[in-house]
A and B are shown apart, each in its own frame.
Chain A
């Protein structure tokens, strides 16, 4: 108890609001990241199918997903920009001291993101006038640009987890920076692949979940079938891959950030034959309340044999490790993530079994119920994964090199709390409005699909030429003389 009081006395009061604000904004933004990274890929798959087979339904789906992407990408951009402000507004001392060591990853990310923003604009606004295959091929670099952007961000984050590529001089300032070492830190590879696959998997399950709900409500047409199958197949293929990658990352954390691993598995004392706890709570004195205890398993998972020695939280001083509460949070996040991951494997196997036996979707309503929940569940795992890596690093912002409390801004505490309040209110409104807009779009599309005219439209004269300029675009935007004919710039004037 004394150590906690001492800890609080040394922590500037700005730390709490700054931490809450960062957690809230990043936790909100990360919900959009899977779609920013992977929705273009899934849309391009559908687009390709539509073009190659002349499939009108596939093209309709791809076009509708583009309309969703247009809104989602914009919200993702603004919430992402806030994060780059927050590096300065909340953690100026981290950037001031370490910016030139690990900032380059963000440089890669910015340019990749620039490329993505440009290409996505061309893709989203190219449907009407570009030639079909030209349009498709201009979109194909998008997934690569997204992976490159993720590379930059994860490089920076994994540097905070396993910092290297510098030496400290007599005053404790970093010198002799080597960029390659600072980007490719020990945890980078495992963390990157785990993250990248998580993004594709989550986007796949969420998109498929939308059509699973429709399927459950009796809309069992080709539109829903296709809208479900393509993203779900992507996600189902990636699920076992992700299980392997996640397991690998956990073992890398065991080797490279042993204290974080101890928090995730609530291991108090360094020991061999360590039991695994499923859930449960770590108390201040190192005892564990609740949870299911499985003897030996933690040692076996970490090193494949019961005699593996697992580092405990007490191997470092109390103010150098997560508190008992933080460790419990990390442990729960980690266990929820692992549990959902395992359940998703069963779902993917179910799907694979039916496909292998009958070349068809499972017939059970329970399958579609689970598939509908899988989207929300994988968004939850994204949050959990992020909580595991961030809370597990506490109290460090740069692992064993700078504390969060040493990085925080000197701005008045009241300003920070005010900002926090405003940001929460703004984000609640924006995300609420974003969801409302999406639901409204869905309603409009459903009304069109269910009306006789809409069904005729799907197979009508337009069916053969899904591309090309259309008349009457101004009907929805206001009256202007024929926007379809651009005048040559600088003509008679």
Chain B
């Protein structure tokens, strides 16, 4: 009972990271494809401004996912990191490079330096979500089981590849939708068109990948495939598809007010559908929620800590997003810190 509740907290945390972190990875994806220093200057300016105040908070969802895993379901944590060692190690390195690249690009003034940090940030923004997707694919296809050791088969398989590509496409989609709304907020009409087009393209890519993925994963990830195509899992999948279709409609009609919410709903519902499809397994089909659950007393406290934290963090998070959407959050510039041009700086 309590274990089930905690497992849903885990699903929610994964969904939150997929949406919040995914948006930032997507921004990095578009940074990668923005072209040369001159052509890509405007999109990169927007990406910088939109991401800077929120990416660190968004990243914390991942840490929270890990903590729920090792506190609530220790054996599952052990199994996942045992079987998926390599993609997770690569994701960790990608995460470091992405954050450092982004943080160091901003205060760097020389063009060469900005190029290097920008490239590091952008490439790792593409690779990191791919590896996370690979891990999810490995779990969904039953390749992660207690006692399984790290092997290439665990992550180099059809379901993992499809899930990895889908994750990248989903981050690109979220990133583009949010950047469209951000461009609108900053009054940059050319960028609204720019990112709107990219949002629609990435949605098309998701559809194509899903169509390819359905037959490819049918026998590879049978349990989850069945869960996603029947009953409550199917209902959530349909809702997610509707949310995505609604986003496309809003974008096509240039209604930017709600498209962020519908895009987030689409991704979150997909994660929830995956969670539902796995029931009652945490690792299909080798470890159930009840088998993996940690000590009952700890789970109760984990729930209490979560509730207290939601009360504490929730309002702060709402304030952050609210201030960010109102345009009240701006980085300090040289005029604020009274800095001057140093030799070798590009303006």
Contact = CB atoms under 8 A, between A and B. Distances in A.
A478 B42 contact: yes
Interface string B283-317: 00000000000110111011001101100110011
Interface residues of B, number: 103
B81 A89 contact: yes
A342 interface: no
Interface stretch (B22-30, B225-233, B334-342): B334-342
A430 B298 contact: no
A125 B52 contact: yes
B319 to A, nearest CB: 7
Nearest to A103: B71
Contacts of A353: none
B157 interface: no
Given A422-B93, A444-B342, A103 B298 contact: yes
B338 A92 contact: no
Contacts of A412: 150
B235 interface: no
B81 A107 contact: no
A81 B96 contact: yes
A107 B305 contact: yes
A89 B331 contact: no
B328 A129 contact: yes
Given A89-B92, A478-B42, A70 B71 contact: no
B4 to A, nearest CB: 16
A66 B181 CA distance: 28
B71 A106 contact: yes
Contacts, number: 331
B74 interface: yes
Nearest to A462: B335
Interface in B21-56: 41-42, 44-46, 48-49, 52-54, 56
Interface residues of A, number: 105
Contact of B302 (A104, A124, A478): A104
Given A107-B67, A120-B56, A475 B88 contact: no
Contacts of A75: 99-100, 103
Contacts of B186: 480, 483, 486
B329 A447 contact: no
Contacts of A440: 107-109, 342
B1 interface: no
Interface string A399-412: 00000000001111
A121 B332 contact: no
A111 B309 contact: yes
B71 A96 contact: no
B57 A114 contact: yes
Contacts of A486: 185-187, 326-327
B77 to A, nearest CB: 5
Nearest to B257: A490
A490 B257 CA distance: 4
Interface stretch (A316-324, A367-375, A451-459): A451-459
Interface string A278-307: 000000000000000000000000000000
Given A103-B70, A415-B86, A177 B60 contact: no
Contacts of B295: 100-101, 166, 174-177
A357 B44 CA distance: 56
A244 interface: no
A63 B334 CA distance: 10
Given A92-B77, A95-B74, A490 B328 contact: no
A270 B344 CA distance: 64
Interface in A449-476: 449, 451, 454, 457-458, 470, 472-473, 475-476
Contacts of A487: 184-185, 187
Contacts of B312: 111, 115
A433 B181 CA distance: 33
B59 A444 contact: no
Contact of A98 (B57, B64, B74): B74
A445 B317 contact: no
B207 interface: no
Contact of A489 (B53, B74, B181): B181
B255 interface: yes
B95 interface: yes
B5 interface: no
Contact of A93 (B78, B149, B305): B78
A443 B338 CA distance: 12
A138 B322 CA distance: 14
Interface string A175-203: 11111000000000000000000000000
A402 to B, nearest CB: 13
Given A129-B328, A444-B342, A454-B340, 10 more contacts: A63-B332, A70-B332, A82-B95, A87-B70, A88-B66, A430-B100, A445-B337, A447-B340, A470-B336, A481-B187
Interface of B: 41-42, 44-46, 48-49, 52-54, 56-57, 59-60, 62-64, 66-68, 70-72, 74-75, 77-82, 85-86, 88-89, 91-93, 95-100, 102-104, 106-109, 117, 149-150, 181, 184-188, 254-258, 294-295, 297-299, 301-302, 305-306, 308-309, 312-313, 316-317, 319-320, 323, 325-342, 345, 347
14 contacts: A63-B332, A78-B103, A85-B66, A85-B89, A88-B81, A99-B70, A103-B298, A114-B317, A127-B332, A174-B295, A415-B89, A426-B97, A440-B342, A473-B335
